Amino acid sequence: MERYSRQMLFMPIGEEGQRKITEKRVLIIGCGALGSANAENLARAGIGQMVLVDRDYVEWSNLQRQQLYTEADVENQIPKAVAAKARLHEINSEVEIGAYVMDADAITLQPLLRGIDLVMDATDNFDTRFMLNDLLQKASIPWIFGSCVGSTGMSYTIFPNESPCLRCLLDAIPVNGATCDSAGIISSAVQMVAAHQTTEALKILVEDQAALRTSLLSFDLWNNQYHTMKVERAKKQTCPSCGENPSYPSLNYQCRTKSEVLCGRNTVQIRATQAPDFQILKKRLKRMGAVKANDFLISVEYESYRLVFFQDGRTLIHGTNSIEKAKSIYYQLAG
């Protein structure tokens, strides 16, 4: 236990807390900036088992903030979950790590939840987060929400049947749909969110629930702003995800964002459950490529792809037959 001696000297953890940490199992959804930072923190802290899920591979633009990866990972196009597992084993070979290169949805995640004590949100879109919200409410597994863009970030800890869920929260608090691809990001914003997420995770792992932060935390490092907001009153008895009669809408097929490959067109169609605000979307897309728009649609040239957004919530991603790649591009631009 010498490697954890300084952590054990911290009284809220101690020897008993360290023993509990080494017995716990954490699932991390997304191995990008937040995922890699949290994974490294928990590996160094001595987590017993870690399960990593990510659908993407390492690219050059990741290296500025995604701390587990190297130039060799980019050159060899190593999937993030695989590269993260290899690096984490070098950091702490005692940690048991499972790595899954796949899209995280209600079906693929179901078997991975067995025996999980905590889920860390490191995703890049709210479709996945709402699915996680419903899935983990139903399974009664706590999870820690985190997001960051530009110099801003947010974090909130969700305990099923106790705290307001993500759906309750976002009904009360509007969230900017900007992404790292549209607004950029500085690495210190990632580290700040990860610091709060990892600290909340350690409280849960050592079973010190009384120490958990019950407020929503948000900050803007560049503009020297830091806020915590009490959100207990946001919890609704009528919430379809955590209320008295939950229906878990994001687990229903009708409520999911749907994707399909259009035969012979090298195009994927994505149908969102809610169409984006066209004025906001048009303004955001102008930063990213050549935009054309009329009363019915907005199109943008982005890298080697062309995206066409329709008023009814459909989007065509021209230039790929990969649903996974199309969804990744869609979330980068649509927020």
Q: What's the rounded mean pLDDT across residues 119-123?
A: 96
pLDDT at 323: 85
Q: Which two tokens stand for residue 98?
A: 């499972």
Q: How far is the C-alpha of 89 from the C-alpha of 260, rounded, in Å?
A: 37
Q: What's the rounded mean pLDDT across residues 249-268?
A: 77
Q: Return the closest-CA partner of residue 186 out of 217, 229, 219, 145.
A: 219
> With bands split at pLDDT 50, 70 and 90, how would you rate the model's confidence at 205?
very high
Q: Return the closest-CA partner of residue 213 out of 296, 265, 145, 311.
A: 145
Q: Which two tokens stand for residue 264?
A: 């012979």
pLDDT in tens, 268-312: 888 887 777 888 888 888 888 888 888 778 889 988 999 998 887
Q: Which residue has the tokens 């590269």?
A: 83
Distance of CA 106 to the CA centre of its chain: 15
Pairing of strands 152-158, 143-149: antiparallel
pLDDT at 318: 92
Beta bridge partners of residue 49, listed in sequence order: 25, 96
Helix axes 14-23, 187-205, angle to 10 degrees: 100
Residue ranges and CATH numbers for the domains of the chain are: 2-251 (3.40.50.720), 257-334 (3.30.310)
CB 219, CB 226: distance < 8 Å: yes
pLDDT at 173: 63
Q: Which two tokens stand for residue 127?
A: 């479709």
Q: What's the rounded mean pLDDT across residues 213-242?
A: 94
**Count of CB atoms situated within 10 Å of the CB of 120:** 27
pLDDT over threshold 80, residue 179: no
pLDDT at 175: 64
**H-helix segments, 56-111:** 71-75, 80-91
pLDDT at 102: 85
pLDDT in tens, 11-29: 999 999 999 999 999 999 9
pLDDT at 176: 62
CB 51, CB 116: distance < 8 Å: yes
pLDDT at 122: 96
pLDDT at 17: 98
pLDDT in tens, 141-168: 999 999 999 999 999 999 998 999 999 9
**Phi, psi at 252, each rounded to 5°:** -80, 140
